[in-house]
Amino acid sequence: MPARTLPTLVQAEVASHNSAKSCYVTIGTNVYDITDFLDSHPGGADLILEWGGKDITEILKDEVSHVHSEAAYEMLDESLIGFVATNKVIDAAVESKRPGNLVPVTTADGVNKTGKPVYLATGLSSAEDLSKETDLANDYKTHKFLDLNKPLLMQIWRGGFSKEFYLEQVHRPRHYKGGASAPLFGNFLEPLSKTAWYVVPTVWLPPVLYGTYIAREGCTSFRQEACYWVFGLFLWTFVEYILHRFLFHLDTWLPDNRVALTLHFLLHGVHHYLPMDKLRLVMPPTLFFVLAFPFWKLAHVVFYWNWHIATAVFCGGIFGYICYDLTHYFLHHRKLPAYWQQLKKHHLEHHFMDYQNGFGVTNRFWDRVFGTPLQSERVKLA
């Protein structure tokens, strides 16, 4: 029988195998499937099931309970099925300059039927996996996270999830049945959480055009207004990067409580959890207004000497946002020309491979400036 590479499993997956139908235990980073041994255990199956999905290093050595013999360890070796990817392992893979470290093993049979290597951080192997329909019942049974048949928001609020478990799960993308939107609120607020892509230019393009028109009155020439407007557009690319990295992906600094986790899920977590949801991909106008208002004030503080110039800069920035949200939508759902095809590859790799890097959506300039290119790009840059 040819040798096979044993899979690396995330902690949550190991922990979910804690029943008589499927019982895993770990010793250090080794994972053992001892389901078939349950009925043969001298102390009874119930004693083992108490430790299902957990590390048994200490209990095997416990003198009060029973110090296990070398024969017990040899029997365990026959049940070795893989290795657990601890946070330390995942963090080391993400920080590595070698993207191969993110794909250390091939998945077990039945986990990924394609046999392709899987990225530890997301559990996916390719962009195509983002749109493979999730088995809703099996996903909930396996991961014990969210039931996609029920409103999601209150499950986050009431779930009692740790920050570690929440981030591990929310960055493992699912695809709701038929590509429809999974229920978020489950009440009258549900329609407010959905926004079609064409709403963005419909709502924001007229104010941008009007603002650009009235800004002309306070500028000495068309060229001056155009320069400030383009400057605002350039500033948007920086704002886009900062918002995506430090607000939408506030993962490392996220407080470990349900308020923070629920807000994170509403703001961006739901997009990483269900990245192909067409109606929760662009920003609802009310949310963008809340985010844009401080920048309106800031523009008029910085350019205090000329209200019209500040307006021109702001309008250029808002046009940049319109381009960003439309680009974001089309990267997920349209075939695009060559340049945008490269952006599409870059952004989808952010989802299925390396969500802790690659924050630029309309461009990759600021990722290169601040040292956050995708792991696969770091080799090319080295």
How many Å apart are CA 291 and CA 154, to the nearest integer? 24
On whether 143 is known to bind a ligand per the annotation, the reply is no
Locate the DSSP E strands across the chain.
Answer: 8-10, 24-27, 30-33, 80-85
Choose among 189, 152, 376, 381: nearest CA to 277. 152
On whether 268 is known to bind a ligand per the annotation, the reply is yes
What does the DSSP assignment read for 230-281?
HHHHHHHHHHHHHHIIIIIT-TTT--SSHHHHHHHIIIIIHHHHSTT-GGGS
* Dihedral sign (CA 341, 342, 343, 346): positive
- The sheet carrying 30-33 orders its strands as 8-10, 80-85, 30-33, 24-27
On whether 264 is known to bind a ligand per the annotation, the reply is no
Q: What are residue 20's phi and psi, to 5 degrees?
A: -65, -25
On whether 17 is known to bind a ligand per the annotation, the reply is no
On whether 308 is known to bind a ligand per the annotation, the reply is no
> How far is C-alpha 168 from the chain's CA centre?
8
Give the list of residues 6+ apart from residue 254 with CB closer than 8 angstroms, or none: 163, 167, 260, 261, 264
Cβ proximity of 79 and 314 under 8 Å: no
How many Å apart are CA 367 and CA 380, to the nearest integer? 14
- In this structure, the dihedral spanned by the alpha carbons of residues 208, 213, 215 and 217, taken in order and rounded to 10 degrees, is -170
On whether 350 is known to bind a ligand per the annotation, the reply is yes
On whether 171 is known to bind a ligand per the annotation, the reply is no
Checking 58-66 for CB contacts under 8 A at 24+ apart, the result is 60/27
Tell me how crowded residue 307 is: count the other CB atoms within 10 A of its CB: 15
> How far is C-alpha 17 from the chain's CA centre?
24
How many Å apart are CA 114 and CA 135, to the nearest integer? 17
Binding residues: 41, 68, 244, 249, 268, 271-272, 328, 332, 347, 350-351
Binding residues for heme: 41, 68
Binding residues for Zn(2+): 244, 249, 268, 271-272, 328, 332, 347, 350-351
